[in-house]
Chains A and B, each alone.
Chain A
């Protein structure tokens, strides 16, 4: 197993008096695609969003335990959330381009993090190329991003994360709003990203998990039941619950 990029130690998360994540210990390897699977409501999104501290704005969210980016304690008061989010990017379930032009969607994050102005165009171009979007949009960078198709919007959102050169990219069911062809393109993109990034992806699609994931964590009722190589999870699951879930969703 390669070096660990993200990890949790006895992570517990409550929304008010609702105990949503229960004693989670997981070590997510660097430069791999790790998929989180499990039935709806089991806490996949909640776990994913705790890595980039998206629960900070939810007053009733209460977190115990440790989350680490390599050695960095993500919830230590010393570490500012804006810096953490620069290192850990996120792509959401529904494509959410900002109401700006294609170019400005990517430039926005760069400006936030004080990138010198004259470097921005080249960085935008590079990120769009790496996200396989460049050929489709190079002549209309000033077009409003909302005029792109859903699949293009989602690749734009990935490019928007990539342009900041994060270490980790979190994705919450990034293909669930896309058609099969767009889904295929996004999957190819994800596979190409793992050379440079650690990808954690929530998916409810078992075929997709098998196509793209190196490691899979099966979650059930707020716990990580089983975490292993993709091959093992799908062909020799150690746990009864895992097997039932995988067979159930196939049958």
Chain B
């Protein structure tokens, strides 16, 4: 009896360990694949020219492969999207968790889930027919396909993740914290901003990281909405081309195992490292904050 239970225990532990290891293996595998394909690129182009180059023109002469314009594009679009999505997402989550009457909650929550399930191509169309014209109207630009457009769309795509993860984080804060604050004479707003949200910060960071990851990696939407000019952007109204869009556009036409081909792996590796770095930083910050919790 207890023998068979022990065996069962052992089998389950093995299964869980295996699935955990599989995730790690996948991560390492993807990274090695990117790196090994990138190495050939660095036989032709120096790391300095690659990381410091302000021009990305694979077709020009022997090809110029400076990642900076792509990096700046990705950075700009993502930054813009987070500036919109983080406050909006967290405040929406706080409203849903703390203030919204249950009837409104019952309507809003499914709506937010629907928003999450809209395919990125559809959001891209939204950028072309709605956001783009609106931007060119408001700012008087010729085209509305630019970094701002991408930021707005990515914000829309990151919002559902940020909202639902933030809401879980806020709901997980014990009622006793709120009571402690209210009993000291705090109003509901002070309680929210000085106790509940700070207490939920580890979870809010996780929410932002997931949203950020979504925005950084998103391809189709930015490809459709940002104008795809691989030049150094100087403002949110410039057309930009992110790392992801560059890979998607150029991978289809590039001859196999040329410098250009390997260059695309190299920029993918850079994106991978950035994403990983951001997640590790988020994890580190969240862990540092957790020591204040029981």
Binding site for B on A (CB under 8 A): 52, 54, 57, 81-86, 89-90, 92, 94, 96-101, 108-109, 112-113, 144-146, 157, 160-161, 164
- Given the complex, which residues of B lie within 8 Å of A97, measured CB to CB? 180
Q: Which of B179, B184, B291, B292 contacts A109 (CB 8 A)?
A: B184
User: A57-B182, A109-B184 known; A98 and B294 CB under 8 Å?
Assistant: no
- Given the complex, which residues of B lie within 8 Å of A100, measured CB to CB? 198, 292
Q: Say yes or no: A52 contacts B183, CB within 8 Å.
A: yes
Task: State the interface size on chain B (CB cutoff 8 A).
Answer: 21
Q: Say yes or no: A92 contacts B179, CB within 8 Å.
A: yes
Nearest-neighbour CB distance to chain A for B97, whole angstroms, equals 14
Q: Say yes or no: A113 contacts B185, CB within 8 Å.
A: yes
Question: Closest residue to B186 on the A side, CB-wise?
Answer: A112
Q: Say yes or no: A146 contacts B184, CB within 8 Å.
A: no
Q: Say yes or no: A92 contacts B185, CB within 8 Å.
A: no
One of B47-55, B125-133, B187-195 at the interface: B187-195
* Interface of B, helix, strand, loop or mixed by DSSP: helix
Q: Say yes or no: B292 contacts A82, CB within 8 Å.
A: no
- Given the complex, which residues of A lie within 8 Å of B182, measured CB to CB? 54, 57, 85
- Given the complex, which residues of A lie within 8 Å of B181, measured CB to CB? 98, 108
Q: Say yes or no: B291 contacts A144, CB within 8 Å.
A: yes
Q: Say yes or no: A86 contacts B194, CB within 8 Å.
A: no
- Given the complex, which residues of A lie within 8 Å of B292, measured CB to CB? 99-101, 144-146
- Given the complex, which residues of A lie within 8 Å of B199, measured CB to CB? 98-99
Question: Closest residue to A112 on the B side, CB-wise?
Answer: B186
Query: How far apart sit A99 and B294, CA to CA, in the bound complex (Å)?
Result: 8
Nearest-neighbour CB distance to chain A for B202, whole angstroms, equals 10
Question: Closest residue to A105 on the B side, CB-wise?
Answer: B180
- Given the complex, which residues of B lie within 8 Å of A164, measured CB to CB? 184-185
Tell me the chain B residues, 144-203 only, with Cβ under 8 Å from chain A: 174, 176-177, 179-187, 190, 194-195, 198-199
Query: How far apart sit A113 and B186, CA to CA, in the bound complex (Å)?
Result: 8
Nearest-neighbour CB distance to chain B for A231, whole angstroms, equals 31
Q: Which of B176, B186, B190, B194 contacts A92 (CB 8 A)?
A: B176
